[in-house]
């Protein structure tokens, strides 16, 4: 189930000097405020991500680096705030200085083929620091480029487009919208089919701000894990094809309510992950499901083309003992309840909380955040080379917090569609996690399965 190891893969990258790509035409010089959802502490980080594209015969002789470099300059005319720099004002309020300084672009070549990255291609990618150069002095978010792009040509004729993005500026939906526009322009469009919309004031706090919902995701609790010796953290990905996804759904056969694949998948993995961490029975744990508010209201809260952060992550709270000893549907019901809290009133309450409490971070103590990118459309983005083999984050975690997992749509060499789950756990926990998944999916009798679960928690 886990990705075949390609950790021993070594290759050489020849990289040109990083350059700044500025808008192809003059754009407005102004300051634009981020929303009170955008500039919360938990989003003040950079996320590394990548697209992997195979060789395409019809693009023979076309240089992806030159094509994307030129398209970037044109796309920045429409997305000109991305060519600016973030500044921090009074009350930690973030704003963009739209000054046309540009985004970082790096051109490179690697003596490796796309197929050497494994089947399926998924994180952790070997030598990723070669595929995405971390330019010294530009590692932060304040006064730094919001976007760093590296295009690496492969010896098979394919290429990797890797990038860092500043999460305060946009979310997964916004990233897909921007790169979709970039691909359209690379394929000779004169402008994006979706016009970008700023309108960050739509997600600002009310006047006066008032917290009207319960926000367990921001509740402060003491971290009782500090005294423990930290274990080495490892990255891993797990591919779930149609057979395994069907087996997961069968684990909920006795549940007669409606649920989505994402909800069942998340509940299943949350239980396996909790068991793997070997927590004290009464320790409180949290699951936060990132829930996008786009398209959930009529009329819509956010207009088409809005590329800022448009999500909240309500928390499900329980104890390690209750989650691992209760029937699996208990976890499913917690996931469904948390997702259901993501209403317009909830996101407005979060914006108000940010202003009242100084833009706090989510509670990281024994928390797991899940971001479902399976419907983001990232893999469909076509620069002329067809669909990406892999499109999504390059690793689990966000900033200094390792407990963020991403679910990414993926296909293996057999052509089977599935979901790749990215996780970061202590090494011992990762081994237990993988074993627990296999134990659960190899059991078909409910009673046998429940007894195995109980034994694994003792």
Residues with catalytic annotation? 167, 382
Structure tokens belonging to residue 75: 């796309």
Whole-number Cα distances in Å, 55 to 114, 180, 266, 362: 9, 20, 34, 42
- Which burial class, exposed, middle or buried, applies to 62 when counting CB atoms under 10 A from its CB (0-12, 13-18, 19+)? middle
Phi and psi at 327, nearest 5°, equal -55, 155
**Rg from Cα positions in the chain:** 22
**Residues 422, 425, 431, CA angle at the centre, nearest 5°?**
95
The answer to whether the beta carbons of residues 307 and 196 sit under 8 Å apart is yes
Quote the distance between the C-alpha of residue 53 and its chain's center.
19
The answer to whether the beta carbons of residues 266 and 289 sit under 8 Å apart is yes
d(CA 201, CA 207): 12
- Which residues sit opposite 151 in a β-bridge? 107, 161
Residue 32 in 3-state DSSP?
strand
Residue 125 in 3-state DSSP?
coil
């Amino acid at each position: 189930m886990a990705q075949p190891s390609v950790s021993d893969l070594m290759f050489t990258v020849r990289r040109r000097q990083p350059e700044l790509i500025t808008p192809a035409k003059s754009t407005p010089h102004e300051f634009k405020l981020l929303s009170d959802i955008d500039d919360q502490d938990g989003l003040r980080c950079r996320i590394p991500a990548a697209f992997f594209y195979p060789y395409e015969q019809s693009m023979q002789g076309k240089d992806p680096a030159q094509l994307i470099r030129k398209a970037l300059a044109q796309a920045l005319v429409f997305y000109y705030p991305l060519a600016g720099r973030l500044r921090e004002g009074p009350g930690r309020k973030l704003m963009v200085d739209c000054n046309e300084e540009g985004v970082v672009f790096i051109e490179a070549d690697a003596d490796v083929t796309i197929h050497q990255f494994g089947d399926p291609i998924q994180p952790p990618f070997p030598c990723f620091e070669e595929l995405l150069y971390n330019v010294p002095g530009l590692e932060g978010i304040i006064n730094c480029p919001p976007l760093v792009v590296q295009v690496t040509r492969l010896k098979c004729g394919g290429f990797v487009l890797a990038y860092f993005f500043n999460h305060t500026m946009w979310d997964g939906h916004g990233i897909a919208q921007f790169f979709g526009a970039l691909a359209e322009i690379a394929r000779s469009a004169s402008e994006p089919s979706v016009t970008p919309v700023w309108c960050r004031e739509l997600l600002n706090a009310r006047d006066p701000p008032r917290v009207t919902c319960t926000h367990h995701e921001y509740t402060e609790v003491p971290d009782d894990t500090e005294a423990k010796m930290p274990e080495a953290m490892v990255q891993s990905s797990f591919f779930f094809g149609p057979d395994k996804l069907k087996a997961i759904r069968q684990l909920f056969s006795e549940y007669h309510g409606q649920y989505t694949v994402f909800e069942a998948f998340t509940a299943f993995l949350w239980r396996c992950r909790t068991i793997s961490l070997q927590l004290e029975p009464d320790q409180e744990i949290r699951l936060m499901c990132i829930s996008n508010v786009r398209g959930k209201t009529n009329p819509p809260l956010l207009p088409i083309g809005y590329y800022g952060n448009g999500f909240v992550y309500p928390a499900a709270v329980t104890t390690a003992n209750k989650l691992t000893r209760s029937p699996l549907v208990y976890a499913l019901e917690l996931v469904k309840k948390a997702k259901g809290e993501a209403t317009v009133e909830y996101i407005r309450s979060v914006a108000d909380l940010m202003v009242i409490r100084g833009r706090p971070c989510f509670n990281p103590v024994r928390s797991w955040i899940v971001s479902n990118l399976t419907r983001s459309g990232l893999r469909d983005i076509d620069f002329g080379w067809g669909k990406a083999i892999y499109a999504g984050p390059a690793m689990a975690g966000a900033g200094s917090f390792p407990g963020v997992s991403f679910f990414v749509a993926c296909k293996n060499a057999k052509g089977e569609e599935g979901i790749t789950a990215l996780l970061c756990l202590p090494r011992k926990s990762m081994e237990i996690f993988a074993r627990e998944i296999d134990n659960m999916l190899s059991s078909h009798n409910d009673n046998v399965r429940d007894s195995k679960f109980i034994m694994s928690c003792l």
